[in-house]
Structure formats: structure tokens, C-alpha cells
Amino acid sequence: MKALEIQQLNTYYGKSHILQGVDLEVGEGELVTLLGRNGAGKSTTLRSIMGMTPARAGHVRIFGTDSTHLPPFHIARLGVGLVPEGRRIFANLTVEENLKVPVDRPGPWSIARIYKLFPRLAERKSHKGQQLSGGEQEMLSIARVLLLNPKLLLLDEPSQGLAPLIVQNVFDVIVSARNEGTSVLLIEQNVRASIKIADRAYVLDRGLITYSGVAAEFGQDEQRVQELAGASAQKWEFPDD
Ligand SMILES: Nc1ncnc2c1ncn2[C@@H]1O[C@H](COP(=O)(O)OP(=O)(O)OP(=O)(O)O)[C@@H](O)[C@H]1O
């Protein structure tokens, strides 16, 4: 059984036809990256998987259940955890309070384990969310979702605006999740870093999948990598922390 199967996904915002027949799969325990330029439809793909902007045509299956028309809370109960773009944390709560999420699924993640993997969060456990740097907020945002012990983890540009060292820490944690058996779909503009950790890669361009293959093989196609990486180069020259 696949963790995620998407077939001929068509999604619209009003009359704008954004996803025009996307096919994509994530096997159990697989780390898959979905790459593409700004506006290609990557976030929309996650929104459709999560039921926030449901598909108008096509199918989404999560661990064998047809979830195409299920509401987001129901999809979450199938074991899907989404780390959205832009760091959703409680600004007025401390790090520790942010991490005390109600957990109803047994699994490998605990607050102690999170502190071990993100020592910065342990050092700052009494600080409020609003006092954290962008990198620390991203760590906290990922940690909150991991504590739900998702079986399928969806991440929307976790490296956005972060300094390279922090990106490394965040990516190490994503690899740990995969090594624990979590299936992962990682959306990234940071092409080189994400193909290094991914098993397979897809490229989305104007609502269509234009590449699908083994991530390491994609990494060897310097021209393709350059084309995609060039589109996000500016983000890399000016990290915000
Ligand atoms: N709520 C919305 N209403 C109308 N159009 C939208 C909405 N959200 C996104 N779009 C449009 O849908 C297209 C795909 O956007 P999407 O955010 O999925 O792209 P993306 O690949 O995730 O890019 P980014 O890296 O900029 O987030 C874009 O043309 C965008 O302008």
C-alpha cells in the first residue's frame, strides 16, 4: 500500500485551473520531494491533499483510503501532518507550552526526543514563541506536527528564509522522521539540499508534472538542477537569521 497516491488531480481557484492532472506517489517510508518554481502549484498540491482546496477532478488516496472529498480534520485523522508555509505557532505561549499538543496516536516522538534533536528549542523552552528567531520558529512548527506522530508528513518550504546551518538541522530532523518509518512529501525551493535527502523527486511546472525519478539521478542532471535552483538563488544569498 502507498502512503499517498494522487491520480489526475485537477484543482481550481475559482476559474483558474491550477493543477492540470497531477500524478504523484509517496511509498510507505519514502521521502519524496516536490520541486518547482514560484507559482508552479506546489502549495496547492498540499492544500488538495489536505482537503483545504479539494480537487475538482482526480483522486487522492491516503494509506488506501479515498480522501479526495474528505474534510481536513478527517484527513488529519488518517495520520497526515502538515507543516504549512509560514510557521504556525502560538506567539504568546512558551516553547514548552507550544509542544504540549494533545497526542492520540502512539509513535516515536516525545518532547524529550524533540529537545535532543533541536537543542535550540531546549535552551529556549521558557521563551515565548514571539521571542524566537525565524529558524527557531520553524523548528517549533515542525516539532509540533511531529509530536502528533504523523504517518505521512507534508512540509511546505521548511527552509524558506533560514540560514544554512539551521536548514541543515531542519533537514536532519526530516531524515530522522523518514528513518523512523514516516512517509514524507517535502516541498522545497532549495533544490540541491532537498534532492540530497530525498529518495525520489518530482518537478511541477504550471500545474503539470514535468519530471519524476530517483532524486540522485535528478541531481546528476546539472542543467535541470541549475534551471530550477536559479529560480530560488536570491533566497539563498540573503538568509534572514
Ligand atoms: N487563494 C488563491 N486564489 C487564487 N489563486 C491562487 C490562490 N493561491 C494561489 N493561487 C495561484 O495559484 C498558482 C499556484 O500557487 P501555489 O501557491 O500553489 O504555487 P507554489 O508552487 O506553491 O509557489 P510558491 O513557492 O510561490 O508558494 C499561482 O499562480 C497563484 O497565484
Overall number of domains in the chain: 1
Q: Check whether 235 has a pLDDT greater than 70.
A: no
Q: Phi/psi class of residue 62: alpha, beta or left (left: φ > 0; alpha: ψ in -120 to 50)?
A: beta
| Under 8 Å between Cβ of 129 and 93 | yes
Note whether residue 21 is domain-resident. Answer: yes
How far away, in angstroms, is 206 Cα from ligand 1 center? Answer: 10
- Whether residue 20 has pLDDT greater than 90: yes
Task: Report the chain's mean pLDDT, rounded to a whole number.
Answer: 90
Domain of residue 80, residue span: 2-86+150-237
Asked if residue 230 belongs to a domain, the reply is yes
Residue nearest to atom 25 of ligand 1 (CA): 38
Give me the mean pLDDT over the 89-111 stretch: 87
Which ipTM did the prediction report? 0.93
Residue 130 lies in a domain: no
> Is 102 domain-assigned?
no
Compute the distance between CA of residue 25 and CA of residue 6 in angstroms, rounded to an integer.
6
Contact criterion met (CB below 8 Å) for 197 and 31: yes
> Atom 2, ligand 1: which residue's CA is nearest?
13
Question: Average pLDDT for residues 79-100, to the nearest whole number?
Answer: 91
Q: Where are the alpha helices (DSSP H) in the chain?
A: 42-50, 72-77, 95-99, 111-117, 119-123, 134-146, 164-179, 191-197, 215-220, 222-230, 233-237
pLDDT tens by residue, 166-204: 889 899 999 999 999 999 999 998 898 899 999 999 999
Q: Is residue 103 part of a domain?
A: no
**Other beta carbons within 10 Å of 116:** 11
In this structure, what CATH number is given to the domain that contains residue 171? 3.40.50.300
* Percent of all residues in the chain with a pLDDT value above 70, rounded to a whole number: 95
**Ligand 1 mutation pick, 18, 49, 155, max ligand atoms within 8 A of CB:** 18
User: Does residue 138 sit within a domain?
Assistant: no
pLDDT tier at 231, thresholds 50, 70, 90: low
Q: Does some domain include residue 122?
A: no
Residue 139 inside a domain? The answer is no
pTM to 2 decimal places:
0.92
> Strands 65-66 and 57-62, how do they pair?
antiparallel
Smallest CA-to-CA distance from 156 within 115, 180, 184 is with 184
**According to the model, what pLDDT value does residue 232 have?**
54
Question: What pLDDT shows up at residue 233?
Answer: 46
Q: Is the dihedral of CA 205, 209, 210, 211 positive or negative?
A: positive
Pocket of ligand 1 (CB under 6 A): 13, 16, 18, 36, 38-44
